[in-house]
Amino acid sequence: MAREDGAAVNARDRLVSPVDEPDEKQLESALRPANLDEFVGQKRVRQQLSLVLEASRLRGRSADHVLLSGPPGLGKTTLAMIIAEEMGAPLRISSGPAIQHAGDLAAILSSLTEGEVLFLDEIHRMSRPAEEMLYMAMEDFRVDIVVGKGAGATSIPLDLPPFTLVGATTRAGLLPGPLRDRFGFTGHLEFYSVEELELVLRRSAGLMDLAMTAEGFAEVASRSRGTPRIANRLLRRVRDWALVHGIDRIDARTSSAALDMYEVDARGLDRLDRSVLEALVTKFGGGPVGLSTLAIAVGEETETVETVAEPYLVREGLLGRTPRGRIAMAAAWDHLGLAVPEHAAFQDPGLRAAFGAAASPSADEDAPPLFED
C-alpha cells in the first residue's frame, strides 16, 4: 500500500480534521445509517440515487456504476454501504492506493460474485495500468489477463459477472475522462448546514444514549465545519467531558466549555488555523505573504499549511489566495478581535480581482509577495 504523506498524518492529529482515524473506524460504523431514509443531508444526491437503485431493482439488474465525489468526512463510504444494503448485495471494499498493479485489480475482479458491490475509495490514486483494465471491466464485464512476457506473452479473456462499482474521490478532477464517462451516476457531496448537522448529532446522541439540549446540539454543530465526521468526533469529546465532570444533561454551556478545552473555537478553528491567521495578521500586516514564509512563521511544513489549514480558512472567507501570496480578509481581523487597518491588502482592487486565481503552490511565483520566501 502506498505510504501516506506528511500532511495526511498531520491532519489526523487534529480534532477538527475530516480525515478518518484508524482507531475510530469501529465507533463510526456504529453510528452509520443503514439505509437512505436514515441518511441525513445531501437531499438531491439521495433522491437521485434512490431513483437509480429503485430502477435497477425493478429491472432485476445490477445498479449502474456510481461515482461519489466531495471533501472527506461527508458520507461517501456510508453511501457505498447503503447502496449494497439497498440492493441486497455483498460489499467488497478496497482503495486506490492499494491497487498499484493491474494484477491486484484482476485478483479482486475475478473473485466478485454476481450483483456484488465493489467500493474503491480514493479511486483517483489507482495506478494507470489498473485504470485501463478497469475500463473494460466496467463496460463489458471482461478483463484480459496477460500471461508470460515478451514475444511469448498471450492474452486470456476472462468474463466477469455483472457487478456495481462505487468509486469515491476527494479530487474528481484527477480522474481521467474515460473513467469518469463509464460511471452511470455521479453525485457530488456538499458541506452540511448547521441545521443538518444538528439532525446528525441528534441521531448519534440517541444511539449513544446521551441526554442533550437543543442548544447543546447547536453549539457542537456550529463548530463542526460542515462535516458529519467532525460533528460526531466533537460529540464524543463533549460526552467524555460531561462524564468526567458529572454532568447528566449536556447544554450549550457544557458543549462550549468542553470544546474550548480542546481548543476548537466558536467558528470551528483549532490551534493551527488560528496560528496561521495570527501570523498573517500580526507578523505580516495581512499580507500578501508567500506560502513558505507563512509556514515558517507558524512552525509547520508548507504542505501542512496548504492542504490542512488553508482550505477551511479560504472557504470561511478568512484567508485569500492571490498571485502575490496569501492575504487576510476582513473576517480574519474580526475573528481575532482586531481592528481592520485602512490599507489592508484585501482592499486592493487588483488583488481583490485575483482572489481564487492562485489554486496551486506555484501561483506564489507569478509575482513577488511583499514578504519574500
Q: Is 229 annotated as a binding residue?
A: yes
Q: Is 43 annotated as a binding residue?
A: no
Q: Is 76 annotated as a binding residue?
A: yes
Q: Is 32 annotated as a binding residue?
A: yes
Q: Is 135 annotated as a binding residue?
A: no
State whether residue 169 is helix, strand or coil.
Answer: strand
Q: Is 182 annotated as a binding residue?
A: yes
Q: Are 119 and 77 in contact (CB under 8 A)?
A: yes
Helix axes 291-298, 271-278, angle to 10 degrees: 120
Q: Are 11 and 20 in contact (CB under 8 A)?
A: no
Pull the grid cell for residue 73. Answer: 468526512
Pull the grid cell for residue 118. Answer: 465493489
Query: What distances in angstroms separate CA 264 from CA 17, 95, 191, 207, one per listed residue?
Result: 11, 31, 19, 24
Q: Is 77 annotated as a binding residue?
A: yes
Catalytic residues: 76-77, 121, 170, 229
Q: Are 183 and 167 in contact (CB under 8 A)?
A: yes
Q: Is 140 annotated as a binding residue?
A: yes
Q: Is 141 annotated as a binding residue?
A: yes
Cis link prior to 288 (omega < 30° from 0)?
Answer: yes
How many of the other CB atoms lie within 10 Å of CB of 148? 9
Q: Is 312 annotated as a binding residue?
A: no
Q: Is 365 annotated as a binding residue?
A: no
Name 159's Cβ contacts closer than 8 Å, sequence gap at least 6: 141, 142
Q: Is 73 annotated as a binding residue?
A: yes
Residues facing residue 36 across a β-bridge: none
Give all strands (DSSP E) within the chain, no chain letters: 66-69, 91-95, 117-121, 142-147, 154-159, 164-169, 185-188, 319-322, 325-328
Q: Is 207 annotated as a binding residue?
A: no
Residues facing residue 241 across a β-bridge: none
Q: Which residues are annotated as a binding site for ATP?
A: 31-32, 73, 76-78, 139-141, 182, 192, 229
Q: Which residues are annotated as a binding site for DNA?
A: 321, 326
Q: Which residues are annotated as a binding site for Mg(2+)?
A: 77
Q: Which residues are annotated as a binding site?
A: 31-32, 73, 76-78, 139-141, 182, 192, 229, 321, 326
